[in-house]
Amino acid sequence: MLYSEKVMDHFQNPRNVGKMEDADGIGEVGNAKCGDIMKMYIKVEDGIISDVKFNTFGCGSAIATSSMATEMIKGKSIDEALQLSNKAVVEALDGLPTNKIHCSVLAEEAVKAAVKDYYDKNNIAYDKELFKDDVHNMNEHK
């Protein structure tokens, strides 16, 4: 098999999939040209990510990493969510094929983009350094 059982499980039964009408922060990363786009919605209460949803256009790996990333940040503080690395997501999925690692980077970036959006919308000051490497930001491709 190309993917681990965990990847296939998250791909075939994605957790937290869908839209969120009253999201506090929305992050969209990737671009259709490269093949994967992830949109992440977060709800924030007292600095805690109380709910999270995602929509993904992409391969099995992109959908599975989106699903796993939402599970990993749900109920966590924003600071903890910002620590989420694609490596941790890949490990939680029992690994990905080498040529699929790039698809998992989007999950980490989507979380960061959603938090950044939340900060921006609420005029919360933040360290810009934290968000500088979201290379897949949508706007660069439009």
Partner 1 sequence: MQVYADNAATTRISDAAKQEMILCMDEFYGNPSSLHTIGQKAAEKLFEARKTIAQCLNADVKEIYFTSGGSEADNQAVLSAAETGKLKGKKHIISTAFEHHAILHTLKKLEREGFEITYLDVHENGLVTAEEVKAAMREDTALVTIMYANNEIGTIQPIREIGAVCREKGIPFHTDAVQAIGHVKVDVQADNIDFLSLSAHKFHGPKGVGVLYARKGMRLFNLIEGGAQERGRRAGTENIPAISGMAVALKDVCDHMEENEKKVSALRDILIEELSKIPHSVLNGDREQRLPGTVNFCFEGIEGESLLLLLDAKGIAASSGSACTSGSLDPSHVLLALGRPHEVAHGSLRLSIDHYNTEEEIRYITEKVPEIVDYLRNISPVWEELEKGERAHVI
The phi, psi pair for 130, rounded to 5°, reads: -60, -30
Q: How far apart are CA 43 and CA 118, in angstroms?
A: 9
Residue 18 touches which of Zn ion, partner 1, none (CB < 5 to 8 A by kind)?
Answer: partner 1
Considering only the stretches 46-54, 62-70, 78-86, 107-115, report the one whose residues sit in contact with Zn ion under the rule CB under 5 A.
62-70
Q: Can residue 114 be called a binding residue for Zn ion (CB under 5 A)?
A: no
The only residue of 8, 17, 59, 101 in contact with Zn ion, by rule CB under 5 A: 59
Pairing of strands 36-45, 48-57: antiparallel
Q: How far apart are CA 82 and CA 109, in angstroms?
A: 9
Neighbours of 133 (CB within 10 A): 12
Beta bridge partners of 137: 29
Q: Can residue 103 be called a binding residue for Zn ion (CB under 5 A)?
A: yes
Considering only the stretches 21-29, 31-39, 105-113, 115-123, report the one whose residues sit in contact with Zn ion under the rule CB under 5 A.
31-39
Q: Which is nearer to Zn ion, 24 or 109 (CB)?
A: 109
Q: How far is the CB of 82 from Zn ion (least distance, A)?
A: 23
Residue 4 touches which of Zn ion, partner 1, none (CB < 5 to 8 A by kind)?
Answer: none
Q: How far apart are CA 66 and CA 123, in angstroms?
A: 27
Please, which residues have CB within 8 angstroms of residue 46's CB and are 6 or more apart in sequence?
none
The only residue of 42, 62, 89, 107 in contact with Zn ion, by rule CB under 5 A: 62
The arrangement of strands across the sheet holding 48-57 comes to 25-31, 36-45, 48-57
Contact positions vs partner 1 (CB under 8 A): 8, 11-12, 14, 17-19, 28, 32-39, 55-63, 99-100, 103
Binding site for Zn ion (CB under 5 A): 36, 59, 62, 103
